[in-house]
Amino acid sequence: MSSETLRGDCANCFGLCCVALPFARSADFAVNKSSGEPCRNLADDFRCSIHTRLRPSGFSGCTVYDCFGAGQKVSQVTFGGVSWREAPETSRQMYEVFPVMRQLHELLRYLTEALALPATRSLHGELRRALAGVEELTEGTADALEKLDVAAVRAEVNPLLLKTSALVRATAGGRTQSRRGADMIGARLRGAKLRGADLRGALLIAADLSGADLTLTDLIGADLRDADLSGADLTGALFLTQPQLNAARGDAATRLPEALERPPHWTPRKASAR
């Protein structure tokens, strides 16, 4: 699947993340909003009226979210281009289906990445079958998607992602670290040698990873909120997503995988210590 298919396209979505998802007033959101309640910033055309001013307006949480293309899929395919405003009777089910579709599209994102890696050639047959199976689920009816046990789907795909991780990290050479699910909140890892490490699900909130070697690391599900990636090398990092980068801090010296973009709020260059 193309990277564009697995990236949010707000122009073809009914603002589902701005309606279906709840949020609480905090450092990430300026107000409280319940599920099914349209955000006060949602315009009539389903666009965000403060999109270019989200962070200074107190909605930084919105800038670290990506539906992986689920929004336009639910809007244009599952519900045939008929919005919740046009057909209010569909709104409840649309809001229920959206997070299910997002999880499926996240799996598609990981499987697509895995298929593009030379190290996984021995798994390509299994990966293609898994990709086709998940894609078929995304084409289901609203009723089928609402009833889908998405946790079971994730459990079925996960072993393939683990095999992918092992094959890719093995190319790093030498003994690699496993810190899967580790609590490293606020950890001082400046300049750490983490090449080929397993950081799957690790809590790296506010960790200092500046100048760290994170090449070929598995970062699936790692929490990078406010982590300092200034000058870090993330070349070839596995299963790293744009939302994870958007939640972190970095600078012009941070090296990223080719498929990902440098967040606009990152500093141009980290000032040198004196």
pLDDT tens digits for range 57-82 = 999 999 889 999 999 999 999 999 99
Q: Which residues contact 195 (CB under 8 A, 6 or more apart)?
A: 172, 176, 213, 214, 215, 216, 217
The enclosing H or E element of 102 equals: helix 91-115
- Residue 2: is its pLDDT beyond 90? no
Query: Which tens digit of pLDDT belongs to each residue from 213-255?
Result: 999 999 999 999 999 999 999 999 999 999 999 999 999 999 9
pLDDT band for 144, please (50, 70, 90 cuts).
very high
For the stretch 167-211, pLDDT in tens is 999 999 888 889 999 999 999 999 999 999 999 999 999 999 999
pLDDT band at 157 (very low <50, low <70, confident <90, very high): very high
pLDDT at position 269:
55
Is 183 buried (19+), middle (13-18) or exposed (0-12) by CB count in 10 A? exposed
pLDDT score of 274: 37
Structure tokens at 264: 């606009």
Percentage of residues in the chain having pLDDT higher than 90:
89
Mean pLDDT across the stretch 31-39?
94
Q: Is the pLDDT of residue 136 over 60?
A: yes
At residue 270, the pLDDT reads 47
Average pLDDT, the chain: 94
Residues with Cβ within 8 Å of 256's Cβ and at least 6 positions away in sequence, in order, are 234, 235, 245, 262
Residue of 219, 208, 165, 170 lying closest to 186 (CA atoms): 208
Q: pLDDT per residue over 244-260, tens digit each?
A: 999 999 999 999 998 89
CA angle 82, 83, 87 (to 5 degrees): 85
Q: Where in the chain is the domain with CATH 2.160.20.80?
A: 174-274
Residues 152 and 172: beta-carbon distance below 8 Å: no
DSSP reduced 3-state for 36? coil
pLDDT > 60? residue 272: no
The per-residue pLDDT for 273 is 44
Q: At what angle do helices 150-170 and 124-138 cross, to 10 degrees?
A: 150
Name the pTM for this structure: 0.92
Residues 6+ positions from 193 with CB-CB distance below 8 Å: 212, 213
Contact 262, 242 (CB under 8 A): no
Question: Per-residue pLDDT averaged across 40-68, rounded?
Answer: 93
User: What is residue 232's predicted lDDT score, i.e. its pLDDT?
Assistant: 98
Q: What is the CATH number of domain 174-274?
A: 2.160.20.80
Distance of alpha carbon 266 from alpha carbon 251, whole angstroms: 5
How many whole angstroms separate alpha carbon 160 and alpha carbon 162?
5
C-alpha pair distances (Å), 184 with each of 151, 202, 217, 224, 247: 26, 7, 16, 10, 16
Q: 264 to each of 40, 59, 63, 103, 260, how far by Cα in Å?
A: 24, 15, 10, 26, 12
